[in-house]
């Protein structure tokens, strides 16, 4: 009888070894994982580039921040991820450290469905006349060169997992942010800032700002103003395949991507946000539904019909 070869044979281990409890879990579980799969590489700093590595899947140890860093590390090389919750909220996580080894031993583990989640790309364009010395050096342009002063250069391009947020810096004042969708002018927001969020990010900063919750597998984004000065400016849901352009009229506006400041922008700069040509992939654990996660992680109250008696016992 021909022996069945498990489709998943190689694994990458990622996470945050500085987080409390992670080193102890790794010490216990890594030898057991090595008995089941070939561990191709490990990185517990969240800093190494994993965009070239070839593995069947990856396991991420830590909280939601560790998982987001793993998406960034993989870049266009998004392999299926299994997230082990070792953080505080763990809304994006798949399983616990106690459940991990039994899951990996299941003969149908490689047949678990994969949830594809959209990613965005954020590009910043700046005119030649406004380039800083650092910009010119990165672009290999002369300090004082000829050329059209209005010619634009892409000075930054970043992957976005959760959101792009424009926030104000000193001098602190109401921000004026113009939004264009597919080149069509929408409005100019007046307030503390603006968030363009993925469905994954809809339960992060966007949720705190009053935005709606989107299923993680939707092909959509949330446009969420921060403390808008106009009451009619409410969060809007639109398609992820559109191009979103942001322009500011204030100096020293921070572009914050997934919680980290990417750069500052000012009048004349353009921020373009597009859907990435690839998705991130999460291994779905049978029995752990979307709304179950919502109830458990976000503390939704109320009862499910048919369960009142169990709750009241």
**Half-sphere exposure of 274 toward its Cβ, with a 13 Å CA cutoff?**
11
| 256: alpha, beta or left? (left if phi > 0; alpha if psi -120 to 50) | beta
Q: What DSSP character marks residue 111? A: G
**Half-sphere exposure of 313 toward its Cβ, with a 13 Å CA cutoff?**
3
Q: Which of 49, 56, 64, 238 is catalytic?
A: 64
d(CA 45, CA 31): 20
> Among this protein's residues, is 64 annotated catalytic?
yes
CB 45 within 8 A of CB 60: no
Give φ, ψ of 286 to 5 degrees: -55, 135
- Torsion angle (degrees, nearest 10) of CA 277, 283, 96, 100: -130
What per-residue string of b and e applies to 44-64 under the rule 16 or more CB within 10 Å gives b?
bebeeebeebebbbbbbbbbb
Active-site amino acid positions = 64
């Amino acid at each position: 009888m021909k022996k069945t070869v498990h489709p998943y044979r190689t694994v990458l281990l990622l996470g945050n070894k500085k987080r409390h409890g992670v080193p102890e879990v790794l010490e216990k579980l890594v030898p057991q994982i090595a008995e089941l799969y070939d561990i191709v590489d490990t990185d517990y700093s969240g800093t190494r580039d994993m965009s070239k590595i070839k593995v069947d899947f990856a396991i991420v140890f830590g909280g939601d921040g560790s998982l987001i860093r793993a998406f960034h590390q993989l870049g266009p090389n998004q392999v299926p991820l299994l997230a082990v919750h070792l953080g505080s909220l763990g809304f994006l996580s798949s399983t616990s450290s106690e459940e991990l080894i039994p899951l990996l031993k299941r003969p149908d583990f490689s047949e678990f469905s994969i949830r594809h989640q959209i990613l965005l790309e954020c590009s910043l364009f700046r005119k030649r006349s406004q380039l800083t010395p650092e910009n010119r050096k990165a672009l290999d342009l002369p300090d004082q060169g000829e050329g059209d002063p209005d010619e634009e250069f892409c000075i930054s391009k970043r992957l976005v997992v959760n959101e792009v947020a424009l926030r104000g810096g000193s001098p602190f004042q109401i921000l004026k942010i113009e939004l264009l969708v597919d080149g069509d002018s929408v409005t100019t927001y007046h307030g503390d800032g603006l968030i363009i969020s993925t469905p994954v990010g809809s339960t992060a900063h966007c949720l705190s700002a009053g935005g709606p919750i989107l299923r993680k597998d939707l092909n959509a984004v949330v446009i969420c103003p921060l403390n808008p000065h106009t009451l009619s400016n409410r969060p809007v849901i639109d398609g992820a395949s559109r191009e979103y352009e942001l322009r500011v009229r204030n100096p020293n506006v921070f572009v914050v991507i997934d919680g980290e400041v990417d750069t500052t922008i000012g009048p004349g700069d353009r921020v373009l946000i597009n859907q990435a040509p690839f998705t991130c992939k999460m291994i779905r654990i049978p029995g752990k539904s979307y709304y179950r996660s919502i109830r458990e992680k976000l503390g939704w109250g109320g009862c499910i019909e048919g369960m009142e008696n169990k709750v009241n016992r």
